[in-house]
Amino acid sequence: MSSLITKVRAKQIEQLLENGKRLDERGLLDTRELKIEQGVIEKAEGSARVYLGKTEVLVGVKVETGEPFSDTPKEGVMTVNAELVPVASPRFEPGPPDENSIELARVVDRGIRESRAIDTGKLCIEEGKKVFIVFVDVYVLNHDGNLIDASAIAAMAALMNTKMPNYEVKDGELKIKQGYKPLPMRNHPITVTLGKINNKLLVDPWLEEESVMDSRITFATGEDGNICAIQKGGSGYFTPQQILEASKIALDKAVELRKKLKW
């Protein structure tokens, strides 16, 4: 967008890419520095703050009780909500979620849901009547690009940090016992996004790159290396070859990240 970055800047980014370089001196397949702080909101059942370069996302998890969906009467419910909080960017405005925050929430949701990361079967209190509801609230605090990966990692880190009442269910009655136990998890998806600028693929695009890139593609992969969610975004396209290439890069990066995070 010419109003956000001069065309000169765009040209500069493109020329660097031709030589395999990026404005911030990363290689094309390098992610920015990732820092995770868990348990930063003591009063929430779970929380994590993730810094991906200068991008900063806080996720808080609340666990409450409520009704299950009628088509899954024995399963707990997870719901993901994302807010592009106006402190994070001069372009974010207060108000109800727009298409960008809804897409962000739904992509984060999909990675967790499709990989069956949470063992929702263990969150049932009384079949069809009462289950635990896990609210995952994604709060974007500083937008420097690639909100999807930062949010997805922060959501997983917050879920892994989530403690819930040490309950026991007897005859459909919920009994709260002393202490807490962790939220039952069975998979740990990792989400990797690539951008495309002038037919070059690059991992973890930051804000300046996002402002000139054609399109992006996101892959979430589970512990078994299978893909559990994909989302293409942006007003450009990918060739079928680029998609295969991107998926390979994303899977490799996920393996790399998984090792680092020990997830």
Binding residues for other proteins, rule: CB under 8 A, are 2-3, 40-44, 47, 54, 56, 58, 60-62, 64, 72, 81, 83, 85-90, 94, 96-97, 99-100, 102-103, 105-106, 110, 114-115, 135, 137, 139, 141-144, 215, 217, 222, 225-240, 243-244, 247-248, 251
* Contact (Cβ atoms closer than 8 angstroms) between residue 59 and residue 115: no
Q: Please say which residue, 12 or 81, places its beta carbon nearer to other proteins.
A: 81
Q: Please say which residue, 91 or 175, places its beta carbon nearer to other proteins.
A: 91
Angle at 58 between CA 55 and CA 60, to 5 degrees: 160
State the nearest-atom distance from the C-beta of 170 to other proteins, in Å: 25
State the nearest-atom distance from the C-beta of 240 to other proteins, in Å: 6
How many other CB atoms sit within 10 Å of the CB of residue 30? 14
Token pair in block for residue 4: 């956000």
Q: Please say which residue, 20 or 135, places its beta carbon nearer to other proteins.
A: 135
Q: What is the DSSP letter of 184?
A: P
The position carrying tokens 């999807």 is 148
Q: Please say which residue, 2 or 178, places its beta carbon nearer to other proteins.
A: 2
* Contact (Cβ atoms closer than 8 angstroms) between residue 183 and residue 155: no
Q: Please say which residue, 70 or 170, places its beta carbon nearer to other proteins.
A: 70
Residue 162 CA, chain-centre distance (Å), reads 16
Q: Please say which residue, 20 or 255, places its beta carbon nearer to other proteins.
A: 255
State the nearest-atom distance from the C-beta of 17 to other proteins, in Å: 20
87: Cβ contacts below 8 Å, ≥ 6 apart: 141, 142
Q: Residue 195's closest CA among 225, 153, 238? A: 238
State the nearest-atom distance from the C-beta of 207 to other proteins, in Å: 9
Secondary structure of residue 204 in the 3-state scheme? coil
State the nearest-atom distance from the C-beta of 243 to other proteins, in Å: 6
State the nearest-atom distance from the C-beta of 254 to other proteins, in Å: 11
How many other CB atoms sit within 10 Å of the CB of residue 97? 14
